[in-house]
């Protein structure tokens, strides 16, 4: 019996998709507050969605995803929407992170020419600050949610570490390969979509595949 892999389904905009995430017991549900993202949700819609989620009997960690946003705005969203984690993407430093009053998931973009030693150094720095880490593919035009897989072998010894999510191009076709690296957590968005919209069948299938793998 393998350790339970944490599952984060990101880019939720509609309650019927959120309900599927909840019913299938994903550990984290992500709302994207990045305007240039096609999965962007504005404050009022997020407020309504979270209200509907809270009315259910299901529990999950609700994550707000921010990119190049001010600490004041992030804190305001976190407080008013009662979010559990702030996922920080784009450009940031320790000073900015220190001004965010809530638990954080720090998004690190992996480039093709990165090496394991440098990645580990960055991760260990943020882990000493008690932040969770999300490893995603680098794309100069997009801060995150690229839907592209990076070279997982670069982080094969890192993603087993507690509080580290593997993201970037995950789907039902490659999740078994990813799980062979025994990641602490996995994050998926485009891999559970059909024609750019979240697909409940794909969400349920992905979560079930992860849970089935753990029983081997």
Task: Give Cβ neighbours of residue 115 (< 8 Å, ≥ 6 apart).
Answer: 154
Catalytic (active site) residue 10: yes
**8 A C-beta contact, residue 133 and residue 108:** yes
State how far the alpha carbon of 46 is from the alpha carbons of 19, 52, 63, 87, 157, in Å.
14, 10, 11, 15, 36
Identify the active-site residue in 27, 114, 136, 139.
136
Burial class (CB in 10 A: 0-12, 13-18, 19+), 55: exposed
**Residues with catalytic function:** 10, 136
């Amino acid at each position: 019996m393998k350790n339970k892999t944490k599952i984060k389904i990101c880019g939720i905009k509609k309650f019927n998709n959120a309900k599927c995430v909840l019913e299938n017991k994903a550990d984290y549900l992500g709302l994207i507050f990045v305007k240039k993202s096609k999965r962007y949700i504005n404050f009022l819609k997020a407020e309504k969605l979270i209200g509907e989620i809270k009315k259910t009997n299901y529990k999950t960690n609700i994550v707000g995803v921010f990119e190049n946003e001010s600490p004041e705005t992030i804190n305001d969203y976190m407080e008013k929407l009662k979010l559990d984690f702030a996922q920080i993407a784009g450009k940031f430093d320790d000073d900015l992170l220190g001004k965010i009053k809530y638990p954080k998931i720090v998004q690190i973009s992996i480039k093709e020419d990165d090496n394991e030693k440098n990645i580990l150094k960055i991760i260990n720095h943020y882990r000493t600050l008690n932040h969770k880490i999300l490893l995603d593919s680098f794309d100069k035009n997009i801060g995150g949610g690229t839907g592209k897989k990076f070279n997982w072998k670069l982080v094969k010894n890192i993603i087993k570490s507690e509080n580290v999510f593997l993201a970037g191009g995950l789907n039902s076709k490659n999740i078994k390969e990813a799980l062979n690296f025994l990641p602490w957590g996995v994050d998926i968005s485009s891999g559970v979509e059909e024609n750019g919209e979240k697909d409940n069948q794909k969400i349920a299938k992905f979560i079930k595949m992860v849970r089935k793998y753990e029983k081997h």
